[in-house]
A and B are shown apart, each in its own frame.
Chain A
Amino acid sequence: MALLQIAEPGQSAAPHQHRLAVGIDLGTTNSLVASVRSGEATTLSDELQRHSLPSVVHYGNDEISVGYDAQSQSATDPANTIVSVKRFMGRSLDDVKASGSQGYSLTASENGLPVFNTAHGQYNPIQVSAEILRPLIERAEKTLGGDLQGAVITVPAYFDDAQRQGTKDAAELLGVKVLRLLNEPTAAAIAYGLDTKQEGVIAIYDLGGGTFDISVLRLNRGVFEVLATGGDSALGGDDFDHLLQAHIQSALGIVEPTIQLNRQIQIEARRVKEALTFADIVTASIESDGQTLSCEITKAQFEQLIAALVKKTISSCRRTLRDAGVSADEVLETVMVGGSTRVPLVREKVADFFKKMPLTSIDPDRVVALGAAIQADILAGNKPDSDLLLLDVLPLSLGIETMGGLVEKVVTRNTTIPVARAQEFTTFKDGQTAMAFHVVQGERELVDDCRSLARFTLKGIPPLAAGAAHIRVTFQVDADGLLSVTAMEKSTEVQTTIQVKPSFGLSDTEIATMLKDSMKHAKDDITRRMLTEQKVEAARVIESLTAALAKDGDLLSAAERSQLDESIKALDTLAQADDSDAIEAAIADLDEQTQDFASKRMDNSIKAALTGQSVDNI
C-alpha cells in the first residue's frame, strides 16, 4: 500500500533509536528467546552456546535453579523439580489432579489454583513460569546490551482466557512489558516469511510438548487473517512419552516404581522416542537397585502406541478446515511447528491429509521464537513501514450462565478479535438491586462442561419493577484474547466497570505477595517499580500526543490547544519528580481532555484509509 512516504515538516524521517524487544517462546518442555539483530531474527544463546532452555525449575532448600541445572535434578529430586508447568497454567487443582499430579505435592490456593509445595516454599504456576522467563530476559538484556522495551510472548492458539492471563501475569511479575501475546502458529507463519511471498490459504500444524494447535490462515498483502483455529490444549509429545513410558515399564516388569524410578523411565522414554525418529529399533535401559534392565522398542510398536493420538490431531485438522470454510486442496502450504512434528508418523499423516509435503526447513523448536522476535521488532516501532498485520481469532466461545445451568453464547469461537459484544439482561424480581453473572468459555451447552472464567455481581441497580431495569453487559476481548467486562443500567446510564475476578486467577493478596517475593530477587521495590511504570507511561503519553498535535493540531481550537500544551508541560514537570500518584492523576487528566481529539483522529484515519481505496477503484 504505502507507495509514497511524505514526511511532515518537523517530523523528519530521521532514524530513531532502535528499541530493544524480544520474542519469547515459553514452551512446555523448552523455552527460547529471540531478537531481530541487523535485520535478521536469531535465537539468543547462553554462555555455553545453548539456545533452548529446558522449562524446568528446581526449588532446592537454599536456591532456585532453572533450565539445564534444574533438569539434572529432575531424576534425583522429582518432587521439588517442576517440569511442564505450562500444563498447570490457568487450571484448577481439580483439573490438574484429573490428568495426574506427576508426583508433586500440591495444595489449592484461595481460588482453587494448584500450588506446588517445595523445599523452598509454596509456588503457583505463574511464579514457576516467571522463574523460566527470568534467565531468558537476563540473557537478552546482556546480549543486546540494554533494558528491554518489551516482549512478545507466544501462547498456544487454543489457550483460553485464564491460560493467557496467567502467561501475561508471569511476565509482568518480572516487570516485563508484554507487547502482545502471540499465537504460536501465527508466529511460525511469520518466521517462514510467508507474508512476503504468497497470497492464499496456509495451515499450521503445531504439536508441541503439551499442546496441539491447528490454525488456518489467509494471507493477503502482508495481512495474516486467522480463519479458524482448533486443537487440544492437553495433547502433545509428553503424551507420546507417557504411553511409551507405560509400555517400557510393563516390558521391564516394573510394577510399582518409586518416584525416582518413575522419573528415570520417563526420561528414558523421551530418549527412546527421539531416537526412533532415525532408527527402526532402539534399546531402552534403566538402572534399578544396581541392576540394568533393558528391552527393545521398535518403531512399529511406538507408532501403534501413538496412532490414536495422531488420528485425533488429524480429526481436529478436518474440523478446523471446515470452520474456516476451505477444503484441504485449497491449502497452499502446511507449516510444521513443535518438536513432536519430528516424529515420522506425524509427518506422514499430515502429508496424507493435506496431500502435500509440509514445510520443515526451519528448526521446529526455534520457529516460534523467531516469528515472535519479528513481531516484537515491529510492535516496538522499529519498522514503521511494515505491512505485516496479524488478525487473530477467539479460540473458544465466550458465554454466560443462564437458568438451569445452560450457557448462552455471547461471542462464538473463531470470531476475529478484538471484539465487543453487548447483551441485555433484566431483573426478574421487583426491587431487585443486584445481579450475579457467571462467564464461561467453551463449546458445550452445559455450564459444567465449560471452563469457568469469572463470576461477578452487579450491584446498585435502581429498585424498579421486575423486568423494568435493563442492564447492558459488554464483553470486550482485546488483541491478546483477554476479556474485560463492563455493565451499564440503561435507565440511569450508570456505568459500572466490573472487576472480573478470574475463577482460576489470583486473589489480590496473592498478587501482592507474589510481587513482594519477586522483588526480593530483584534489587528493586514496589514503589520504585510503580514510579518507573508511571514515568514510562507519561513519556509515552507525551510522545504520542506531541506527534498527534504536530499532525492534526488543526482539529483543535486555539483555546483547547493552549490548554493542552499547558497540561502536557505540567505532566512533563511531574514526570521529572518522584510522586507516582501525581503522575497518574496528570495522565488521567490529560486523557480526559484529549478524549474527543483522539476519537476524531481515529475517525479521520478510518476515512483516510478508504479514500485511497476509492481512488484505486475509479
Chain B
Amino acid sequence: MNYFDLFQFTPAFDINTAQLADRYRDLQRAVHPDKFAHESEQQKLLSVQRTAQINDGYQTLKTPLLRAEHILSLRGLELSHETTTLKDTRFLMQQMEWREALEDINHSSEPQDLIDSLYDSFADFEKNLFTHLTQLLAKDNQADNLLAADQIRKLKFMAKLQDELSRIEDKLLD
C-alpha cells in the first residue's frame, strides 16, 4: 500500500503536515464506521477495514521516522523487521555515554537539570540526523538509500533513549 497515493501526495520526505491533517479528516468523514452505524453489517465491516488503513497511513505519513521508512520501503528497502546492526563505533560510544548519564540521574542532587540538559542534547543530535536524512532521501539512489537507512536506525536508537528518559522523569515526579 502506497500511503502517499492514498492521501494524494507526491512521495517525498518533506510534506505539508497541515494539509495531511486536513485530508485525513476529510477521508475519515467519508469512511468512518460511525457514518455506517445504521447500515448493513457488510458496509460496517468494509468501513472498519478502510478506516484502519487510513489511520495507519496517517500515522505513517505524520511521523517523520515512519514516513522515511515508508519511502525506503517503496524504494524496495524494507527496514521494519530487520536485524541489521549498526557499525558506526562513534555513534555507539555516544549511546553508551548517554546510557551512563541516564543511570546517573537518580544519584544526582539536581536531577531535573540533568534531565533537561539531556532532552536538549537528544533533540540537537536528532535534528542533525534528520537534516542528513532529508538530504539523502532527496537524492534517491541506491547508495544514498542505504546511508539513509543507517540514519533511520540511529534515529530509532534516539527514540529509545527518549523513552527511557521520560520513564525516569515520571518516576522522579510521582
Contact = CB atoms under 8 A, between A and B. Distances in A.
Contacts of A606: 6, 27, 30-31, 50, 54
Interface residues of A, number: 52
B42 A598 contact: yes
Interface string A378-390: 1111000001011
B30 A605 contact: yes
Contacts of B56: 419-420
Interface in B65-107: none
Interface stretch (A94-102, A360-368, A513-521, A608-616): A608-616
Nearest to A225: B25
Contacts of B21: 220
Interface string A392-421: 000000000000000000000001111110
A164 to B, nearest CB: 15
A609 B29 contact: yes
Given A1-B26, A606-B50, A379 B43 contact: no
Interface string A306-335: 000000000100110010000000000000
B26 A537 contact: no
Interface of A: 1, 19, 149-150, 179-180, 220-221, 223, 225, 315, 318-319, 322, 378-381, 387, 389-391, 415-420, 476, 478-479, 537, 540-541, 544-545, 587, 591, 594-595, 598-599, 602, 605-606, 608-610, 612-614, 617
The DSSP consensus for interface residues of chain B is helix
A389 B34 contact: yes
Contacts of A605: 30-31
B27 A610 contact: yes
B34 A479 contact: yes
Nearest to A388: B34
Contact of B42 (A19, A418, A591): A591
A319 B48 contact: no
A286 to B, nearest CB: 36
Given A319-B170, A545-B40, A617-B19, 5 more contacts: A322-B166, A389-B29, A418-B48, A598-B46, A614-B8
A587 B40 CA distance: 10
Contacts of A180: 34, 37
A76 B61 CA distance: 61
Contacts of B173: 315, 318
Interface in B39-64: 39-43, 46-56, 58-59
Nearest to A220: B25
A602 B48 contact: no
Contact of B31 (A220, A318, A602): A602
